[in-house]
């Protein structure tokens, strides 16, 4: 946009009254509160909320153990200790009352509204040339000040009340977005104030660094900030020296940003480590470079278009199984992104604001564009939280340039913009209020997502699971069948397993068995573009479905048929360790001990399994044969590499040793610790030895610490509930077992323990 020429205020015209200036942010906060108010009575949803809060003991409180976990833990692939601190505070204040968590999130967003309002005022002053790095601020008369406030209000409404913010505000898990954005706005505002002529630069930069650290501790959103600040130096701060003019060199500006780089680098490392910890990243074999470029281009277009026309919003936009970057929509997106970028770059001297906004937008959303893809989502509403900021500020800056261009019509134009801002705010608020209601519970959330993408296997499965909780068997079965049809291969095995569970609960036992057998027998159509060129890669892992079939076959004494199914599964997926483990157990039960070692020899020769998993298999065979001394080195070596995956082996050794006394078992476990067996495995095994000996005070810290060290192990949750039951803490045990079963309905240990507790048996 053109830079309006600074003009002196009209003489004897008073500044904009304080009551008018205060009315703007108050009205904006009220509008945002109305937009998202339905969330204050909402529940946790089965989209990470259950795993993060209902089944997670580790954040509950603000004691040393909880604070240590918040700082060092990578729960569900994220590192955001400050956000966890706010969750811990909510728990101390209100327990697991979901509305209390939602109210805190809403308050944080309203604080973010105020921070954004202040940032918008500052950015627009720079864009208009009313503040500068070389001269003092221009004194504005009442009309210009009113125009500035009106345009800042327009930007704030377009950002803060937009339906794309619903996911950030109404989803408790995504509080990290709200908190991170709040402190990021303060960071940029402080940096802009530090660049003003005559400002106390050191103090403002110190505030910027502190706010930046808090933002990164809330979420890694701001890791690209050094680049953002450098771009802001070019426009609107105009600090870069031009030929024959004043300003600073590129080198000086880059050196100035080095204060922020260590914070960004540290957080980027933590974010990467958190993703690696859960194996969430998608390999280039699955999703190549051209695929990522197409996805990134699609995302850049998606957030712009959804900002302009926010309809058909859902909680999960699926990355297609047969993602084809040469489809017209992706080619169009790539062409559009390249075309817009080149055009705005060429026009950067004439319209610097356009290129600056586009560049900043790309930088801010770059971490979530899929260039480093993780998970099955292609785009997400929440990713526009920070990325949309340059877009709405660009629109507000254009309006301000239009308003002040004609001094004679300034007051009239400002009033027109005010009316437009009020109309926009009202429309967005009603749309956001309606969208927020979709997040009141899991079922309404996933029903909306299915409306947006009827063939999205992920949301179909989650909607089916929500209906399972209220025993709506027929609709749940129909939805789960649709999920399996949409994605019958690798990555959606849980839907196949749940389909069988639902059919079983509905009394359709033969159909349930067939659903589970289909996981072993399904063959991809080589002509289907989703599997073209890699059909074996997409064969489903049948281990969970075979485990569900196992008791039924054994009850009918069809062990040979079951073994044959496992062998069929292994022939198709020789890389699945659980198939070897389960087949090994079947062979042991059938008395075929010689075949067990042969099975693991075959696994070693195939080269599909790591050596540690083969060691674990051999150790199981030796432990089952009572050869504990021979098994010990295999167990320790396997446990050192495989962590909780061989917990039962360590438990078996410890239990056998404890037959001579608990201390003998503890001594063996200390040998395991010295041999490199992970602390979580050793602590859990020791805790269970003490639990079996009714030494509850010694068992509790060990079992809780084991869960803190490995918070994805559901058996550890059940072990803690076993302890609660033994201690007489029935309510704690029942609440957490029910939360676990909502996420993992087939967890036999959890269901058995819950039934035992509810029947009145303490042990």
What is the structure's pLDDT at 279?
A: 59
Contact at 8 Å (CB) between 605 and 578? no
List the one residue out of 235, 239, 234 whose CA is nearest residue 134.
Answer: 239
Q: For residue 12, with 0-12 CB atoms within 10 Å meaning exposed, 13-18 middle and 19 or more buried, which class applies?
A: exposed
- Do the domain assignments include residue 68? yes
- Do the domain assignments include residue 395? yes
pLDDT band at 321; cut points 50, 70, 90 = confident
Helix 142-160, helix 389-405: angle, nearest 10: 150
- Do the domain assignments include residue 460? no
The 10s digit of each residue's pLDDT in 665-694 is 898 898 888 888 888 889 999 999 999 999
The 10s digit of each residue's pLDDT in 53-88 is 998 888 999 999 899 999 887 887 788 999 999 999
Assess whether pLDDT exceeds 70 at residue 181.
yes
Distance CA 471, CA 469 (A): 6
Distance CA 569, CA 302 (A): 41
Residues 673, 679, 680, 686, CA torsion sign: positive
pLDDT band at 1; cut points 50, 70, 90 = very low
Those residues whose C-beta lies under 8 Å from the C-beta of residue 349, and which sit 6 or more positions away, are: none
How many structural domains is the chain composed of?
Answer: 1
- Looking at the DSSP assignment, which residues form a beta bridge with residue 281? 374
What is the structure's pLDDT at 537?
A: 67
DSSP-derived secondary structure letter, 137: P
The 10s digit of each residue's pLDDT in 87-119 is 999 999 999 999 999 999 999 999 999 999 999
Q: Rounded to 5 degrees, what are φ and ψ at 374?
A: -140, 140
Distance CA 686, CA 698 (A): 9
Q: Is 138 left (phi over 0), alpha (psi -120 to 50) or beta?
A: beta
- Do the domain assignments include residue 26? yes
Segments forming the whole domain that contains residue 97:
18-437
Distance CA 521, CA 340 (A): 49
- Do the domain assignments include residue 335? yes
- Do the domain assignments include residue 312? yes
Contact at 8 Å (CB) between 489 and 522? yes
Total Cβ atoms within 10 A of residue 10: 11
- Do the domain assignments include residue 394? yes
Give the side-chain half-sphere CA count within 13 A for 615.
19
Output the DSSP codes for 426-464. Answer: HHHHHHHHHHHHTTSSHHHHHHHHHHH-TT-HHHHHHHH
- Do the domain assignments include residue 174? yes
CA 479 distance to own-chain centroid? 25
Contact at 8 Å (CB) between 319 and 385? no
For residues 635, 640, 644 and 646, what is the CA-based torsion angle, rounded to 10 degrees? -20
The 10s digit of each residue's pLDDT in 3-60 is 544 444 443 345 788 899 999 999 999 999 999 999 999 999 999 998 899 988 889 9
What is the structure's pLDDT at 12?
A: 35
């Amino acid at each position: 946009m053109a830079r309006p020429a600074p003009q002196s205020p009209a003489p004897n015209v008073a500044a904009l009254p304080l009551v008018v200036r205060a009315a703007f942010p108050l009205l904006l906060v009220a509008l945002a509160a109305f937009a998202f108010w339905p969330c204050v009575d909402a529940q946790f949803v089965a989209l990470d909320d259950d795993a993060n809060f209902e089944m997670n003991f580790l954040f509950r409180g603000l004691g040393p153990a909880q604070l240590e976990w918040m700082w060092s833990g990578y729960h569900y692939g994220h590192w955001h200790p400050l956000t966890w601190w706010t969750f811990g505070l909510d728990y101390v204040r209100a327990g697991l009352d979901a509305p209390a968590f939602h109210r805190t999130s809403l308050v944080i967003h309203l604080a973010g509204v105020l921070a954004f309002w202040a940032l918008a005022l500052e950015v627009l002053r720079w864009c208009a040339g009313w503040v500068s790095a070389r001269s003092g601020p221009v004194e504005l008369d009442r009309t210009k000040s009113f125009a500035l406030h009106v345009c800042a209000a327009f930007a704030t409404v377009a950002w803060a009340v937009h339906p794309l913010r619903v996911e950030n505000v109404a989803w408790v898990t995504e509080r990290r977005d709200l908190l991170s954005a709040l402190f990021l706005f303060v960071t940029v505002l402080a940096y802009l104030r530090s660049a003003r002529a005559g400002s106390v630069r050191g103090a403002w930069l110190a505030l910027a660094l502190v706010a930046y650290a808090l933002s990164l501790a809330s979420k890694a959103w701001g890791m690209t900030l050094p680049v953002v600040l450098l771009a802001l130096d070019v426009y609107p701060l105009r600090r870069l020296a031009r030929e024959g003019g004043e300003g600073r060199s590129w080198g000086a500006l880059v050196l100035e940003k080095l204060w922020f780089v260590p914070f960004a680098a540290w957080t980027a490392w933590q974010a990467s480590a958190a993703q690696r910890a859960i194996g969430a990243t998608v390999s280039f074999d699955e999703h190549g470079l051209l695929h990522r470029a197409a996805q990134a281009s699609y995302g850049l277009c998606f957030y712009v278009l959804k900002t302009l026309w926010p309809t058909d919003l859902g909680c999960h936009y699926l990355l297609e199984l047969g993602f084809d970057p040469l489809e017209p929509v992706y080619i169009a997106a790539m062409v559009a992104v390249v075309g817009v970028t080149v055009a705005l770059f060429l026009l950067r001297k004439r319209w610097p604001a356009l290129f600056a906004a586009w560049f900043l937008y790309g930088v801010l959303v770059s971490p979530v564009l899929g260039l480093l893809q993780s998970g099955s989502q292609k785009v997400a509403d929440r990713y526009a939280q920070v990325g949309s900021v340059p877009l709405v500020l660009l629109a507000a800056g254009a309006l301000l340039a239009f308003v002040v261009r004609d001094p004679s019509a300034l007051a009239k134009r400002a009033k027109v913009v005010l009316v437009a801002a009020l109309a926009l705010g009202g429309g967005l608020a009603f749309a956001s209020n309606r969208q927020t209601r979709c997040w009141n519970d899991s079922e309404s959330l996933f029903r909306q997502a299915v409306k947006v993408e009827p063939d999205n296997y992920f949301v179909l499965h989650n909607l089916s699971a929500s209906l399972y909780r209220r025993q709506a068997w027929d609709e749940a079965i129909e939805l789960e069948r649709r999920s399996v049809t949409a994605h019958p291969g690798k990555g959606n095995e849980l839907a196949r397993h749940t389909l069988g569970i639902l059919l079983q609960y509905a009394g359709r036992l033969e159909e349930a068995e067939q659903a589970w057998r289909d996981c072993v027998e399904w063959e991809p159509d080589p002509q289907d573009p989703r599997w073209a060129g890699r059909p074996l890669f997409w064969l489903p892992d049948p281990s969970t479905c075979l485990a569900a079939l196992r008791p039924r076959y054994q009850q009918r004494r069809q062990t040979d048929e079951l073994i044959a199914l496992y062998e069929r599964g292994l022939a198709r997926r020789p890389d699945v360790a659980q198939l070897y483990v389960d087949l090994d157990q079947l062979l042991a039960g059938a008395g075929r001990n010689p075949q067990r070692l042969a099975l693991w020899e075959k696994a070693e020769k195939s080269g599909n399994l790591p050596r540690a998993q083969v060691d674990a298999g051999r150790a199981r065979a030796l432990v089952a044969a009572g050869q504990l001394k021979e098994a010990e080195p295999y167990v320790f070596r396997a446990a050192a590499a495989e962590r909780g995956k061989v917990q039962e082996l360590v438990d078996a050794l410890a239990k056998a040793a404890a037959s001579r006394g608990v201390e003998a078992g503890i001594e063996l476990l200390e040998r395991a610790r010295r041999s490199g067996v992970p602390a979580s495995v050793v602590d859990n095994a020791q805790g269970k030895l003490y639990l079996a000996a009714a030494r509850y005070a010694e068992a509790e810290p060990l079992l809780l610490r084991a869960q803190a060290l490995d918070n994805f192990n559901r058996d550890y949750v059940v072990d803690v509930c076993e302890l609660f039951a033994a201690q007489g803490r029935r309510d704690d045990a029942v609440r957490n077992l029910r939360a676990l079963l909502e996420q993992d309905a087939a967890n036999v240990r959890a269901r058995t323990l819950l039934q035992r507790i509810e029947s009145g048996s303490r042990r």
